Structure 1
Amino acid sequence: MAERIGVYPGTFDPITLGHMDIIRRGAKLVDRLMIGVTTNPSKSPMFTIEERMAIVRREVAGIGGTVEVVAFDSLLMDFAERQGARVIIRGLRAVADFEYEYQMAGMNQQINPRVETVFLMADVALQPIASRLVKEIALFGGPIGKFVTPAVCAEVVARVEVIGRKGS
């Protein structure tokens, strides 16, 4: 039987406890999970892609050898094809996520019908967490320790010290 390879794509800027929940659970569904770290032209990243990859690799190290971290800068379906993936794993936090993700899954299905999209609901306690909000809270000096691991928290706080806090 062929190895089941899945892709979990995202910017992971920064990686949150919600992402980690989806990674742990997604890794159980496939033989190998490729975490695709990408850039989103509509977002302003706090960390470079190299920094994000290093952070994600560190954070997923305890999950085991079935998880790999790879950068990509292409259409998701082209990346999935290059990885030999037949599954895209996407996390859903709320109904608002579903509408966007449903549309993307439909478009991706049109591009490459050999790859299926699987949606995983985030753990209820983690559903409100979004990287964008974590960065916003940190930039205003708020506490982010409930949303990211201690190591990620320290890195975000250190980056905010470099780029400067907002507000007075």
Structure 2
Amino acid sequence: MLHVSDRGLGPVRAVYPGTFDPFTPGHFDVVDRSRRMFDQVTVLVAVNDDKRPSQTTAARAAEIRGLLPADWANVEVAAWPGLTVDYCRRNGCGVIIRGIRNSADWMREHELAAANEVLGVTTLFVPARPELASMSSTAVRALRA
């Protein structure tokens, strides 16, 4: 598989933001595919004022760290209360990764991607694998209840 830095661009850092409440097999798959393309991937556990997560940001970040294989040396997990583009600027991340399950995701994410592009950070959409496309954090929470 072609690695982004193989094209002579230097090390490329990417960030995969989300509330991850909880972190699903679909999220895991996006991280796995992304870590193969980029030198460094940060799973950015974000604060979203429109959502009421079941755990604190720090607890969600710790849970994700525990789920990721130890040999994924180029993947880190961070908690961040601000805008993703601000995290990217402060940490040298040139790409925002977003998983897309369906056309509703595309419409919502396309608007955010356009705004982030104006601010200097490109978004890469990673389509969900068909067997994972129906899975969402909301559905996983419902199954746990």
Q: TM-score, normalised by structure 1?
A: 0.78
Counterpart residue number, 2:5: none
Counterpart residue number, 2:141: 135
Larger radius of gyration: 1
Per-residue Cα deviation, 1:110-146 (whole angstroms, up to 9, x for no partner)? 2x22x2100001111000111012112322xxxxxxx
Q: Distance in 1 between matches of 2:82 and 2:52?
A: 18
Counterpart residue number, 1:143: none
Q: Distance in 2 between matches of 1:41 and 1:122?
A: 25
Counterpart residue number, 2:127: 121
Question: Is residue 2:91 matched to residue 1:83?
Answer: yes
Q: Distance in 2 between matches of 1:39 and 1:131?
A: 15
Structure 1 residue ranges without an equivalent (≥5): 140-168
Which amino acid in structure 1 is aligned with residue 98 of structure 2?
R
Q: Are the structure 2 counterparts of residues 31 and 49 from structure 1 closer, same or farther at C-alpha, using a change threshold of 3 Å?
A: same
Which amino acid in structure 2 is aligned with residue 135 of structure 1?
R
Q: Is residue 37–residue 70 contact of structure 1 (8 Å, CA) maintained in 2? A: yes
- The 5-angstrom pairing of residues 1-168 of structure 1 reads 2-110=10-118, 112-113=119-120, 115-139=121-145
Structure 1 residue 44 displacement after superposition = 1.1
State the number of aligned residues: 137
Q: Distance in 2 between matches of 1:5 and 1:109?
A: 16
Report % sequence identity.
Answer: 35
C-alpha RMSD of matched pairs (Å): 1.2
Q: Find runs of 4+ consecutive structure 1 residues off by over 4 angstroms.
A: none
Q: Distance in 2 between matches of 1:63 and 1:128?
A: 28
Structure 1 residue 63 displacement after superposition = 4.9
Which amino acid in structure 1 is aligned with residue 54 of structure 2?
M
SS at match of 1:21: helix
Q: Distance in 2 between matches of 1:118 and 1:63?
A: 24
Per-residue Cα deviation, 1:59-109 (whole angstroms, up to 9, x for no partner)? 113451100001101111111111100111100001110000001101111
In proportion to residue count, which structure has more strand? 2
SS at match of 1:86: strand
